[in-house]
């Protein structure tokens, strides 16, 4: 590994407050009641899974004044989706919300964070893709993950794809961090095994990338090491979805998000972003697919990842880049190498020399 580089992150911010434990969702209304002023509503962004399967017990929104918007999480968040949801909030409420709640996976929580920022900063989502472009605090926001791994509940970013520019970038700002989160492992009890694994691997992979990178600091390393330890206990166990394992994975997700707040990911995430932008592959399963091509760069992580997948009996898709056109490979290349910080973290400032077009295409062909 090359010498340690300065991350450029001067004053890291974490979530202001969190509740942790089975049944803690029952505290949500007490938190929201303390924020209510006049007729201002609470706006709930809720994963569309719950539209068909019923709202979680103890959620208890006030149907007479609050607004529930179900988020289609079938695809990665897109800038126009965020803008459309912002517009719907403004059209259906007579004043700004007193609070925003994001309940679901990374897609739903990222959308809640993005809309919170847009409601107070104005403009459109694509204007804020980048670092520290948000200048005003957003609406008070609460994050409630119903699946573990992305770390969206604890990060300072919300990642969106702009189909017009072809860029997948975050609204990366201190103002994007949730004010309050509720970590209730009971909410992950119904997650299907494959989705549970794919999403959980996001925590493992981004901490593994950070641990092998050049942008390092002791606090980020400490968060990441603990997250990796918890992931190993979960995915090398006999039952990755037991109560104990779900509690551990929810903790790993939170700590992994804290770790990446003071560092960067590496090779896997830029390649996964390429799959997302060009082929509309979901982020977490995309990370797992990219691991097919990572033995050269992360030999230990590669072996451990595949041992975890085998232990849990999880199949990783293969052949997603078969039969692509030359133009699609060009798009994959451009959508990958644009991620300068992660690639510098993994390979150094000369990463473009190490990742010429033919090399990038050969790696995608392994997927």
22 and 152 share one domain: yes
Compute CA 103 distance to the chain's CA centroid, rounded to the nearest angstrom: 13
What pLDDT shows up at residue 3?
63
48 and 179 share one domain: yes
What pLDDT shows up at residue 76?
87
What pLDDT shows up at residue 31?
97
Non-local CB neighbours of 132 within 8 Å, separated by 6+ positions: 172, 173, 174
What pLDDT shows up at residue 166?
78
214 and 284 share one domain: yes
Residue 2 has pLDDT above 60, yes or no: no
Q: Using alpha carbons only, give the angle 53, 56, 58 rounded to the nearest 5 degrees.
A: 150
Domain boundary among 147, 166, 188: 188
- pTM across the whole model: 0.95
- Is residue 1 in a domain? no
197 and 184 share one domain: no
Which 8-state DSSP code applies to residue 40?
P
Residue 313 has pLDDT above 60, yes or no: yes
Domain boundary among 157, 188, 219: 188
143 and 211 share one domain: no
pLDDT digits 0-9 by tens, 175-231 = 999 999 999 999 999 999 999 999 999 999 999 999 999 998 889 999 999 999 999
Indicate which CATH number applies to the domain containing 232: 1.20.1090.10
State the sign of the Cα–Cα–Cα–Cα dihedral 47, 53, 54, 55. Answer: negative
What pLDDT shows up at residue 1?
41
Residue 351 has pLDDT above 70, yes or no: yes
What pLDDT shows up at residue 85?
98
- Is residue 345 in a domain? yes
Q: What is the mean pLDDT of residues 37-47?
A: 96
Average pLDDT, the chain: 95
Q: What is the mean pLDDT of residues 324-344?
A: 96
- Is residue 11 in a domain? no
Q: How deeply is 76 buried, as exposed, middle or buried, from its count of CB atoms within 10 A (0-12, 13-18, 19+)?
A: buried
92 and 219 share one domain: no
158 and 253 share one domain: no
Crossing angle for the helix pair 268-279 and 357-365, to the nearest 10 degrees:
80
75 and 143 share one domain: yes
Domain that holds residue 32: 17-188
238 and 279 share one domain: yes
- Is residue 2 in a domain? no
- Is residue 169 in a domain? yes
| Cα dist from 129 to 140, 155, 171, 200, whole Å | 21, 15, 5, 26
For residue 357 the two structure tokens come to 């077009």
Indicate which CATH number applies to the domain containing 133: 3.40.50.1970
Domain boundary among 188, 213, 233: 188
- Is residue 50 in a domain? yes
Residue 65 has pLDDT above 80, yes or no: yes
Residue 4 has pLDDT above 90, yes or no: no
pLDDT band at 247 (very low <50, low <70, confident <90, very high): very high
Q: Are 176 and 156 in contact (CB under 8 A)?
A: yes
Pairing of strands 159-162, 167-172: antiparallel
Count of structural domains, the chain: 2
135 and 210 share one domain: no
Strand order in the sheet with 180-183: 17-20, 180-183, 141-145, 99-104, 42-47, 67-71
Query: What share of residues in the chain are helix, strand, coil (percent, to 5)?
Result: 50, 10, 40
Non-local CB neighbours of 153 within 8 Å, separated by 6+ positions: 15, 109, 143, 144, 145, 178, 181, 183, 253, 254, 257
pLDDT digits 0-9 by tens, 113-132 = 999 999 999 999 999 999 89
pLDDT digits 0-9 by tens, 248-285 = 999 999 999 999 888 899 999 999 999 999 999 999 99
Residue 93 has pLDDT above 50, yes or no: yes
177 and 203 share one domain: no
175 and 228 share one domain: no
What pLDDT shows up at residue 13?
87
- Is residue 205 in a domain? yes
- Is residue 86 in a domain? yes
């Amino acid at each position: 590994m090359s010498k340690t580089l300065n991350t450029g992150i001067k004053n890291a911010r974490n979530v202001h407050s969190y509740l942790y434990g089975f049944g803690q969702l029952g505290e949500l209304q007490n938190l929201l009641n303390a924020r209510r002023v006049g007729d201002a509503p609470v706006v709930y962004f809720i994963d569309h899974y719950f539209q068909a399967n019923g709202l979680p017990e103890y959620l208890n929104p006030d149907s007479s004044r609050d607004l529930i918007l179900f988020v289609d999480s079938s695809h990665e968040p897109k800038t126009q989706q965020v803008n459309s949801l912002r517009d719907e909030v403004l059209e259906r409420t007579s004043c700004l919300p007193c609070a925003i709640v994001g309940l679901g996976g990374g897609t739903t929580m990222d959308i809640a964070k993005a809309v919170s920022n847009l409601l107070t900063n104005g403009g459109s989502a694509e204007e804020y893709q980048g670092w520290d472009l948000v200048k005003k605090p957003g609406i008070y926001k609460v994050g409630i993950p119903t699946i573990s791994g992305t770390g969206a509940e604890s990060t300072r970013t919300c990642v969106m794809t702009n189909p017009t520019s072809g860029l997948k970038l975050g609204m990366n700002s201190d103002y994007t961090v949730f004010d309050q989160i509720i970590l209730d492992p009971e909410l992950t009890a119904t997650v299907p095994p494959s989705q549970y694994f794919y999403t959980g691997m996001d925590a493992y992979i981004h901490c593994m990338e950070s641990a092998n990178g050049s942008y390092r600091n002791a606090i980020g390393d400490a968060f990441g090491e603990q997250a990796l330890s918890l992931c190993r206990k979960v995915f090398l166990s006999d039952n990755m979805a037991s109560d104990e394992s779900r509690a551990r994975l929810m903790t790993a997700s939170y700590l992994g998000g804290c770790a990446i707040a003071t560092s960067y990911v590496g090779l896997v995430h830029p390649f996964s972003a390429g799959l997302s932008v060009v082929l509309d592959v979901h982020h977490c399963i995309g990370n797992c697919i990219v691991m097919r091509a990572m033995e050269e760069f992360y030999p230990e992580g590669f072996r451990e990842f595949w041992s975890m997948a085998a232990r849990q009996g999880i199949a990783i898709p293969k052949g997603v880049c078969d039969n692509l056109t030359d133009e699609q490979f060009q798009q994959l290349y451009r959508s990958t190498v644009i991620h300068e910080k992660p690639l510098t973290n993994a390979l150094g400032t000369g990463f473009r020399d190490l990742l010429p077009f033919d090399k990038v295409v050969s790696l995608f062909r392994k997927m």
